[in-house]
A and B are shown apart, each in its own frame.
Chain A
């Protein structure tokens, strides 16, 4: 079956669902009662689990349980940058560039500064900027990436008739979705890649080395569901252990196909208990197979550490155009962002299937001690990244008012025309009319 057709359907499907709501709060109203958030019972369960684990690992200076109030070394990110939303956005990309991997920086960001356009230089694991997985390679010069991408990032090169689709991801470094280059290899870092397939082990398996291109990570997707790729790199810098987890989540659903398989895929767990730190995009209660995030919507992410919610993690979201905002995860590990609308092309160039990439970086420090490659460390700096795509909101280009206006106008016009025609018609042979009274 043609993927194009699938995707177009997916688009239409999401349009028709999301298009209902004029704005996000309305969606909240309508769907809010669903199972979006973890229930009280679930939170209690998580706590119990965490406490049990802490009991076992008494030696480690574990971070304090979420919600305990005492933060230990975990520094809560406060001093938020400006409101995610319209103009008051910070430009962080340029400020960050050049810094070494992941030292949180949260001060001195000028409010309302326009994007400087400075391109981050010297990217890579060494040179700073987060490490993240993207389904689009860095653009080369022309800058016209994004744009129409009916494939929604699906690499069609391998997906022939009857063959499973092949997904190719690129490891990129940088804090700007548009401008991050390929990640440089770092001899010091120890990299481990795990692929979690919908029907595989929950901890995942090493990625089969399918690609000769070091920048591209390819894998086949034979079954429906969410494929997750974890790329974990560890590196000791002084007495600080840097743990970077770049994660990509790829949805693979088809039209037709096995319905049960798709349902299973939709319901399967989407986090890994072995991941040192990871960001999970919280599913909305009404999500279906071909979900698309639209700008203007609120999206909740959950920060998990080894499968458990982590409070106090600093989470930064960077939009396609580089606008960013930072939040700190709450006791359930949740952070919520409104997906900012940053796509303002000239009217006639507007493309409703414009695919934009957002980048999410979570950071947390923990005063954990241990040994890495026989060298001791006293604290661990965790960093997790997740990228995803979002699209223009239907409200940006769909108008109810116009439709209603045009519709009513035509309705009235036709109605009146028919009425007058029938009223005034002195058609030969029909002059004699009868009353329909009883």
Chain B
């Protein structure tokens, strides 16, 4: 009987040597190094992601931390109560695998990754434990995630979100939900919702939105001034970055783009096919698809995803700056223009896509659906029909956070871009 078996103590490897950090670093290196002529002001964002995702630096925040799992949680209310919203949607394959313990294998990577992240000891981005997690009842997978998140020891608030957006009843229902959410926040923070606070909070986000819209408008220029991978990185930073600092950085980027525009700068060849990106949201470090498109010589000029455009585009109009009116207007903003596929019918999404194609002079559309994200998969058909009618080519890609289909995807994307180029040449 030999008894020389050794007990190996748990050794916490430094984060920057972990697989997770490797995944982020690998993606970031691709984003930064594979492309010449990155805007100088993007350095802020590269640095931010390197610090947060590769080095595991802590993300600072003011007041209480309210995590959100969807863009439907009204962040203005959270700011108004002196808390900080933090979007928890995660793009890491590492967490995706960890989250697979909770969800069926064939479910959405995003939800799995978010669950995996919330369940891990060291949450990256390092935000600490949220005081409250707001989980809007949007898609089925997120709905079912609530209980699991609660099981991990988090306090979860289920923000009831309607499935139909056309009806007046659901509008009223949603306004009620938002009001109740405000009540929950009041309970959490012990603060009162006042006209001044809410107005200040709305000013914060509307300034950020104005900056985003300006960036958005620069992307109309052909040939492009900025690549889509950078734009995605910018909007991804909005998830966790301080909103004021983020806005300043975007305004700086806008200033640089303005200079680029005046100088006649081209970030891509004039022939490069312009692509509209839609479907499941690319979230760092899963910028696989946008990156593949741009590595293959295309350029993502705009998107219709909830990690970028849908999150920041729509702005709130208020008629009377009274708390009641502001809250209802905010509620409307989060429901009415939303083009999330969880809604029963979604004509608005198709119209929005067509409008974006027209507006941004896009040559084709890439539709990403995370395997298991049923709503996006299901809506593919109606969107494809619409584009077919309009004579706009679309590439539908079903994928997840893993990188093992990269080779096959690159073939498909290249073929798609080649066909776009061909069409373009043909038309000219």
Task: State whether A438 touches B324 (Cβ < 8 A).
Answer: no
Q: Is A432 part of the binding interface, using a Cβ–Cβ cutoff of 8 Å?
A: yes
Q: Is A141 part of the binding interface, using a Cβ–Cβ cutoff of 8 Å?
A: no
Q: Which of B143-151, B179-187, B398-406 contacts A (4 or more CB under 8 A)?
A: B179-187
Task: State whether A432 touches B182 (Cβ < 8 A).
Answer: yes
Interface residues of A in 252-280 (CB under 8 A from B): none
Task: State whether B323 touches A434 (Cβ < 8 A).
Answer: yes
Q: How far is the CB of A427 from chain B (nearest CB, A)?
A: 9
Q: Is B327 part of the binding interface, using a Cβ–Cβ cutoff of 8 Å?
A: yes
Which residues of chain A are within 8 angstroms of B182 by Cβ–Cβ distance? 432, 434
Task: State whether A429 touches B175 (Cβ < 8 A).
Answer: yes
Q: Is B152 part of the binding interface, using a Cβ–Cβ cutoff of 8 Å?
A: no
Task: State whether B176 touches A428 (Cβ < 8 A).
Answer: yes
Q: How far is the CB of B332 from chain A (nearest CB, A)?
A: 14
Q: Is B271 part of the binding interface, using a Cβ–Cβ cutoff of 8 Å?
A: no
**A226 CA to B194 CA, complexed, in Å:** 70
Q: Is A436 part of the binding interface, using a Cβ–Cβ cutoff of 8 Å?
A: yes
Q: In terms of DSSP, what is the predominant structure of the interface of chain B?
A: helix
Task: State whether B196 touches A434 (Cβ < 8 A).
Answer: no
Task: State whether B322 touches A436 (Cβ < 8 A).
Answer: yes
Q: Give the number of A-B contacts (CB < 8 Å).
A: 35
Task: State whether B194 touches A432 (Cβ < 8 A).
Answer: no
Q: Is B173 part of the binding interface, using a Cβ–Cβ cutoff of 8 Å?
A: yes
Q: Is A435 part of the binding interface, using a Cβ–Cβ cutoff of 8 Å?
A: yes
Q: Is B192 part of the binding interface, using a Cβ–Cβ cutoff of 8 Å?
A: yes
Q: How far is the CB of B15 from chain A (nearest CB, A)?
A: 43
Q: In terms of DSSP, what is the predominant structure of the interface of chain A?
A: loop
Chain A residue nearest in CB terms to B328 = A430
Q: How many B residues face the partner with a CB closer than 8 A?
A: 17
Which residues of chain A are within 8 angstroms of B180 by Cβ–Cβ distance? 432
Interface residues of A in 212-248 (CB under 8 A from B): none
Partner of B193, one of A428, A429, A434: A434
Which residues of chain A are within 8 angstroms of B176 by Cβ–Cβ distance? 428-432
**A437 CA to B179 CA, complexed, in Å:** 17
Task: State whether A438 touches B183 (Cβ < 8 A).
Answer: no
Chain B residue nearest in CB terms to A428 = B176
**A397 CA to B54 CA, complexed, in Å:** 91
Q: How far is the CB of B186 from chain A (nearest CB, A)?
A: 9
Chain A residue nearest in CB terms to B192 = A435
Q: Is B195 part of the binding interface, using a Cβ–Cβ cutoff of 8 Å?
A: yes
**A144 CA to B192 CA, complexed, in Å:** 77
Which residues of chain B are within 8 angstroms of A429 by Cβ–Cβ distance? 172-173, 175-176, 179
Task: State whether B323 touches A432 (Cβ < 8 A).
Answer: no
Q: How far is the CB of B325 from chain A (nearest CB, A)?
A: 10
Task: State whether B324 touches A433 (Cβ < 8 A).
Answer: yes
Report if A438-B196 is in contact (Cβ < 8 Å); known contacts: A429-B172, A429-B173, A433-B324.
yes
- Please encode chain A, from 316 to 327, with 1 for each CB lying within 8 Å of some chain B CB and 0 for all others: 000000000000
Task: State whether B173 touches A434 (Cβ < 8 A).
Answer: no
- Please encode chain B, from 20 to 31, with 1 for each CB lying within 8 Å of some chain A CB and 0 for all others: 000000000000
**A158 CA to B183 CA, complexed, in Å:** 80
Interface residues of B in 175-217 (CB under 8 A from A): 175-176, 179-180, 182-183, 192-196
Partner of A434, one of B172, B175, B324: B324
Report if A437-B183 is in contact (Cβ < 8 Å); known contacts: A429-B172, A429-B173, A429-B175.
no
Task: State whether A436 touches B183 (Cβ < 8 A).
Answer: no
- Please encode chain A, from 410 to 436, with 1 for each CB lying within 8 Å of some chain B CB and 0 for all others: 000000000000000000111111111
**Given pairs A432-B179, A438-B194, A438-B196, 7 additional interface contacts (CB within 8 A):** A429-B173, A429-B179, A430-B175, A432-B183, A435-B192, A435-B194, A436-B322
Listed A/B pairs (22) with beta-carbon separation below 8 Å? A428-B172, A429-B172, A429-B173, A429-B176, A429-B179, A430-B175, A430-B176, A430-B179, A431-B176, A431-B179, A432-B183, A433-B324, A434-B193, A434-B323, A434-B327, A435-B194, A436-B322, A436-B323, A437-B194, A437-B195, A438-B194, A438-B195
Smallest CB-CB A-B distances: 4 pairs? A429-B176, A432-B179, A434-B323, A429-B172
